[in-house]
Structure 1
Amino acid sequence: MEILFFPVMVFFIAVVAISVLLHFVPVGLWISALAVGVNISLFNLVGMRIRRVEPRMIVLPLIKGTKAGLALNVNQLEAHYLAGGNVDNVVDALIAAHRAQISLSFEQAAAIDLAGRNVLEAVQMSVNPKVIETPTISAVAKNGIELKVRARVTVRANIDRLVGGAGEATIIARVGEGIVTTVGSSESHTDVLENPDHISRTVLGKGLDSGTAFEILSIDIADVDVGRNIGAQLQTDQAEADKQIAQARAEERRAMAVAKEQEMKAYTQEMKAKVIEAQAEVPHALAEALRSGHMGVMDYYNLKNIAADTEMRENIAGTGEGHKDK
């Protein structure tokens, strides 16, 4: 029994040792590399394991690039992998650039990849330009008519400006600004409708791709629609505001007139009360004058005659109290 157990243990230990060895020494990758002429040693592959680098992520792109005719260095690929870059994507971009005869070095591709941009997509955009469609842009001509414009911008990636260059949002914003300026400088909206290509020529001549990661090839006006009459609407709103201001001022004047009228009525009532009070004192004054001898009976009758004569004259003139009652 012990004789059978020993060979089994040896076999098991041998299998484990071989598995560990094959894990640290990727012989299959080494043979594949040698088959395509990639000079890489087993010690280098083991060193990748020790440096926590997945050998397949380095060797397979290296094989692919070598077969495509690129002169790649293992240390460059490994350094880019350790920096957090996408080695496979960088190699694909270099192959695409090589096929399209676009000047692109490994350092440029690695910098673009580490900057967060898709370097393969950028190379493909350099070969096949991309069309960016702007949202509907509202602009108003000098005659107050609103125009709604949509444009298609054809751009090509500029490899040299991908690092640090502005993106698509900047292109759209600049094109929108150019459309608003061009329409706003037009005397009439009919001028824009007759010659929509004038917008394209004017906007394209402003150098909108300066400082961006793209090169603008063309700007085409896709659609122009007539919107609201902004000028008339503004005039209507202004007239309505002026009307409300005038009404408020008229109401203020009316309120002041009513207050003045109430004040005059109160003053009149006060004066009438004083007159009535004074008239009530007249009989007392006459009686006191008669008792004290300051007025005689004949003086009293003369006073009554004068009052009657005055009342008659007022009635004849139409200003007396009897006339007012009628």
Structure 2
Amino acid sequence: MDFSLALLIGLVIVGIFIVLLLVVIIPIPLWVAALLSGVRVSVGSLVGMRMRRVPPQVILSALIQSKKAGITVDSNALEAHYLAGGNVFRVVLALIAADKANIELSLQRATAIDLAGRDVLEAVKMSVNPKVIETPMVAAMAKDGIQLKAIARVTVRANINRLVGGAGEETVLARVGEGIVSTIGSATKHKDVLENPDIISKTVLAKGLDSGTAFEILSIDIADVDVGKNIGAELQMAQANADKDIAQAKAEERRAMAVARDQEMKAKIREMEAELVKAQSAIPQSIAEALLEGRMGIMDYYRMKNIMADTDMRQSIALESDKGVKAK
């Protein structure tokens, strides 16, 4: 009797331990909910998920959601995506949203988009409801030298097929900005752009700027166009100032050269005057020697003095005449 009681107690303890182990390993309520939802998952599969360190709650919840939405999803694919670091719930929600919107999206592509670092659910929503992104203010100069500043609003829709490997919003904004600069720069007059801003949007949209990106550009609308600086006039003024500085520098160089030449001429004149004074100082001595040696007579000397006096008188009269003429 004692042995039977001990065996019974042991069986009860073992049973309780097995039940607790099953409750811990297998989410019984969720498993029951999955069965009631039509999701057939064996207990062995749930145990295998635990062994592979995959939370059964995540996989079962995703399977229940997809089943209720009428989508067939492979549990092994969901496990592989979870083990790869993906977001299982976002992928399933994206598949459901794409199915309701009649957008072709396979589980393999959805998991690839999610693992690429993009929000696959947001991409599906953007495919249904396009997104408007605004460019920063873009400044460009028309051919007449007037600067224009434009802001554009770009309506884009996600392209599911190009999400993996496609460029992001920054590339779209950069290309649109480049197109705006090119269009304004090719305009003959800035008034043409102000009168018809749609010239920018039509020209930019025709360039096919969405190639190689993860988006499809639906429209480009010019939100604002403002007149900026007169760049052409500023460039002309800068060129004129530069030319003036060059001319002033050349004039200063010529003035310096003229001053140098004047100083050189004055030096030569002083040198000639010094030589003249030296020569004049030697005349009396030469006259005295000529008189002593008999090469000049006394009458010749007085005749020379008379000629010199007459010359000085004529020079004085000429100077007084010039002064009278200038006074008149």
Once the 2 structures are TM-superposed, how far is the Cα of residue 63 of structure 1 from its aligned partner? 1.7
Given the alignment of the two structures, is residue 32 of structure 1 paired with residue 18 of structure 2, yes or no? no
What amino acid is the match of 2:245?
Q
Partner of 1:65: 66
What amino acid is the match of 2:167?
A
Partner of 1:3: none
Given the alignment of the two structures, is residue 185 of structure 1 paired with residue 186 of structure 2, yes or no? yes
Once the 2 structures are TM-superposed, how far is the Cα of residue 91 of structure 1 from its aligned partner? 0.8
- Deviates further, 222-231 or 286-295: 286-295
Separation in 2, partners of 1:158, 1:165: 9
Could you list the per-position Cα deviations for residues 67-120 of structure 1 after superposition, in whole angstroms to 9, with x for gaps in the alignment?
Answer: 211111111011111111111111111011011111000011011111111100
Aligned residues: 315
Separation in 2, partners of 1:217, 1:91: 28
Secondary structure of 2:203's aligned partner: helix
Partner of 2:111: 110
Could you list the per-position Cα deviations for residues 164-196 of structure 1 after superposition, in whole angstroms to 9, with x for gaps in the alignment?
Answer: 111111211222222222222222222222222
Secondary structure of 1:209's aligned partner: coil
Once the 2 structures are TM-superposed, how far is the Cα of residue 19 of structure 1 from its aligned partner? 5.2
Tell me if the contact between 1:109 and 1:119 (Cα under 8 Å) persists in the aligned partners. Answer: yes
Separation in 2, partners of 1:319, 1:214: 101
Once the 2 structures are TM-superposed, how far is the Cα of residue 317 of structure 1 from its aligned partner? 3.2
Partner of 1:248: 249
Separation in 2, partners of 1:299, 1:132: 116
Once the 2 structures are TM-superposed, how far is the Cα of residue 283 of structure 1 from its aligned partner? 2.4
Partner of 1:127: 128
Given the alignment of the two structures, is residue 205 of structure 1 paired with residue 206 of structure 2, yes or no? yes
Separation in 2, partners of 1:272, 1:57: 116
Tell me if the contact between 1:133 and 1:151 (Cα under 8 Å) persists in the aligned partners. Answer: yes
In the TM superposition, 1:220-259 aligns within 5 A as 220-259=221-260
Separation in 1, partners of 2:269, 2:100: 108
Secondary structure of 1:237's aligned partner: helix
Moved over 4 A (4+): 10-21
Partner of 1:169: 170
- Deviates further, 54-63 or 18-27: 18-27
Once the 2 structures are TM-superposed, how far is the Cα of residue 24 of structure 1 from its aligned partner? 3.1
Q: 1:16 to 1:282 in 2, by over 3 A?
A: farther
Tell me if the contact between 1:27 and 1:42 (Cα under 8 Å) persists in the aligned partners. Answer: no
What amino acid is the match of 2:272?
M
Separation in 2, partners of 1:282, 1:11: 158
Q: 1:12 to 1:274 in 2, by over 3 A?
A: farther
Partner of 2:53: 52
Partner of 1:307: 308
Partner of 1:138: 139
In the TM superposition, 1:61-100 aligns within 5 A as 61-100=62-101
What amino acid is the match of 2:177?
G
What amino acid is the match of 2:181?
V
Once the 2 structures are TM-superposed, how far is the Cα of residue 300 of structure 1 from its aligned partner? 2.7
Q: 1:17 to 1:279 in 2, by over 3 A?
A: farther
Tell me if the contact between 1:125 and 1:157 (Cα under 8 Å) persists in the aligned partners. Answer: yes
Given the alignment of the two structures, is residue 318 of structure 1 paired with residue 323 of structure 2, yes or no? no
Separation in 2, partners of 1:279, 1:50: 130
Once the 2 structures are TM-superposed, how far is the Cα of residue 131 of structure 1 from its aligned partner? 0.6
Secondary structure of 1:318's aligned partner: helix
What amino acid is the match of 2:318?
A
Partner of 1:153: 154
In the TM superposition, 1:9-28 aligns within 5 A as 22-28=23-29
Percent identity reads 64
Separation in 1, partners of 2:320, 2:18: 140
TM-score (structure 1 length as normaliser): 0.87
| Alignment RMSD (CA, Å) | 2.8
What amino acid is the match of 1:308?
A
Partner of 1:7: none
Separation in 1, partners of 2:143, 2:278: 76
Separation in 1, partners of 2:13, 2:280: 142
Unpaired runs of at least 5, structure 2? 1-10
